[in-house]
Amino acid sequence: MYLYQDGNTAFHLLHPVTKLLSLLFLITIPFFFSTLIPVLVLLLLYTLVLIIAGGGKNLARFSKLLLLFWAFTFLIWIIVPKLRHVPWSYSNAAMLATRIDVFVLAGLFFVTVTRIEEFTLALTRIGVPYKGAFALSLGFRLVPLFYQNLQTIVAAQKSRGVDLDSGGIIEKGRKYIPIFGILISYGIRNADLMAMSLEAKGFGYSPQRTYYLQPQLTFRDSMFIVLVAVVMVVLFLR
């Protein structure tokens, strides 16, 4: 259900705040380049970093989605400028499409090496109130849960003889409308159960919280932060 891959790589051992900083760093770098070749180099570098971090399985899972994002963005940046009669080029459209894939790879790297608890901890360490950090971290849990519920509902419908695979795209979409209704009811029920569970555990009762995870900033984190600062300065002044 989750994209985190357990490992002992240098990326996994970084402090949660350093990991969050690395995400911001990886997302910011592509904005310094406005041509295709440098962005393609970044795409290759991010892919290599993701594989080194143990995210090969996640890369395989999202390979089709990356291709879809690229094709959709490429077409949008050709069709829309044409309709508006503004200058456009295939190279610029390819650069923007590749940049989108670079962003996705940056996010994949982050969720590959960062547990949900670490993400929550990192947000609180940079000053985000715990309730807000908890709400943001729920996205990591609820999206896979919704997907698992969808698979369960589809399997249950097929076991009852409902044909969801035949027909064209429009017909398949029509068949899935009742399923999405069931999925929404599942989501409302899960939200209600989660609210009761949090209330039963006294969520928000004390303003001061304790944490099971107590990571400490190490020399590795300091070196990474210095490296990030140097690279950002160089890119800004180039």
218 touches 15 (CB < 8 A): yes
Residue 31 has what DSSP assignment? G
Q: Which of 21-35, 36-50, 94-108, 190-204 has the lowest mean pLDDT?
A: 190-204
Q: Grade residue 7 by pLDDT with cuts at 50, 70 and 90.
A: confident
Whole-structure pTM value: 0.80
Length of the chain: 238
DSSP secondary structure of 32-59: G--SHHHHHHHHHHHHHHHHHTT-HHHH
Strands (E) across the chain are located at none
Angle at 170 between CA 167 and CA 175, to 5 degrees: 70
Look at the alpha carbons of 93, 98, 99, 101 in this order and tell me if their dihedral is positive or negative. positive
* Interval 44-85: pLDDT, tens: 999 999 999 999 999 998 899 899 999 999 999 998 887 777
For residue 33, how many other CB atoms are within 10 A of its CB?
17
* Interval 150-200: pLDDT, tens: 888 888 888 888 777 777 777 777 878 888 888 888 878 877 888 888 788
Instruction: Look at residue 106 in the predicted model and tell me its pLDDT.
Output: 94
Of 5, 46, 51, 56, residue with least CA distance to 26: 46
Instruction: Look at residue 112 in the predicted model and tell me its pLDDT.
Output: 93
